[in-house]
Amino acid sequence: MNGLSALVTGSTSGIGLATAKVLASRGCHIIMTGLGSAATIEQCLTDIESAGHGNISVHSLEADLQRPEEVHTLCKEAMKLHPKGIDILVNNAGAQYVVPVEDFPLEKWNLLMNVNLTSAFLLIKYLLPKMKENDWGRIINVASAHGLVASVNKLHMCCKACLIGLNKVVALETIKTGVTCNAICPGWVLTERKFFYILGLF
């Protein structure tokens, strides 16, 4: 994997940060994007660089994944950093809101759809052509066990189920190329968010 470029969304904590560090340890150049203070992002950059193997580069790009125009800008900025194309795309960014359906605000529904699903669709849409041109690419969509089974008060599973569907379509459309598209459906992972959830602070 030495010298490959990877864009990992939601990479300032949890699964995304761990993924970015592992890819860096295999020699990948990393573009990270995610929520957090300037100090948090700087620490993530340091942690990823420390995990890196060889002469890798690590960059952070800002983008509000709720906004399609910012996702487009993110892709253009990523391509400026790596004009030959992004080799590995990890769609990991996620949001959730836990209330019964009758109490679920429309603005929260739109937020979940945009962050969990639409951003992944757009990132694939904009980055896939170069992968096809290079006849090589890896797309990893981090879905969820909630995309396979329903849970009470967890409407974000709708986005994850759709993400799995998107993944299947892209996998079929790229089957005759050197590009692969796979989804991962994690169960409970003890991330910082889950830790605070256990403590009743999230």
Q: How far apart are CA 131 and CA 134, in angstroms?
A: 5
Q: Does residue 93 surpass a pLDDT of 70?
A: yes
pTM, two decimal places: 0.90
Q: Does residue 190 surpass a pLDDT of 70?
A: no
In the 8-state DSSP scheme, what is residue 91? E
Counted domains in the chain: 1
What is the structure's pLDDT at 192? Answer: 62
Q: Does residue 102 surpass a pLDDT of 60?
A: yes
Q: Answer for the pair 58, 6: CB distance below 8 angstroms, yes or no.
A: no
The CATH number given to whatever domain includes residue 119 is: 3.40.50.720
Residue of higher predicted confidence among 192 and 137 = 137
Q: Which DSSP helix (H) or strand (E) runs through 75?
A: helix 68-81
CA angle 71, 72, 73 (to 5 degrees): 90
What is the structure's pLDDT at 178? Answer: 98
Please give the residue range of the domain that contains residue 29.
5-198
Average pLDDT of every residue of the chain: 92
Give the contacts of 143 (CB within 8 A, at least 6 positions apart): 160, 161, 163, 164, 167, 183, 184, 185
